[in-house]
Amino acid sequence: MKRFLYFCLFLFVLAITPACTVAQSTDSLEEESSFGDFPNEWTSEQNSIVLSSNPTAYTALVNEIIIEIENRGSETISFSHIDYVEKMIDGQWYRVPYVEGTDSIDIELVVKPGNTEVYKLETDFFDYDFTAGSYRIVKPFSFNNNSTEVMLAVEFEVESNKK
């Protein structure tokens, strides 16, 4: 009889445990963006760069975000793996946090004049589940041997898997 009572108690505790746990909201981003609005393209007398998302929408189980960096100018563009990914919540951009230690990868990459580079950003580097909503990548670019820096942003959507 005691075994039966212990078994029933065990089942009861097992059944109510999920109801007592509070799931951490994936939309509990806390750090507001320090950036304003940025265009997705920039043009000067000698330089022109266009940033685009391809595709522009992903499912909630996204593993990587793909952006294209097109150099329409006459000088080489340089950039690094430093990216700021942000989510729009109630009209305000919030910073999506990196997994600790992965936000300091700083390797310089280049796009030569007339070329387009595909840049892939792995979502595993972020301490966040990419839930449905509007996101953007804010990225710094340099020209003229790093004497000119511009910030561009490209927006993309993450859509719910529910149909």
Closest Cα to residue 126, out of 95, 156, 152? 95
Q: Does 60 or 137 have the greater pLDDT score? A: 137
- Mean pLDDT, to the nearest integer, of 92-96? 96
Q: Is 9 helix (H, G, I), strand (E, B) or coil?
A: helix
The rounded percent of the chain whose pLDDT value lies above 90 is 55
* Domains by residue range for the chain, with CATH: 26-159 (2.60.40.1940)
Give yes or no for residue 145 having a pLDDT over 90. no
pLDDT attached to residue 61: 82
Strands 41-43 and 48-53, bridge-based pairing: antiparallel
Q: What is the pTM of this model?
A: 0.77
The whole-angstrom separation of Cα 132 and Cα 134 is: 7
Q: Does 20 or 154 have the greater pLDDT score? A: 154
pLDDT attached to residue 67: 95
Partners of 133 in the beta sheet? 158
Q: What is the 3-state secondary structure (H, E, C) of 105-132?
A: CCCCEEECCCCEEEEEEEHHHECCCCCC
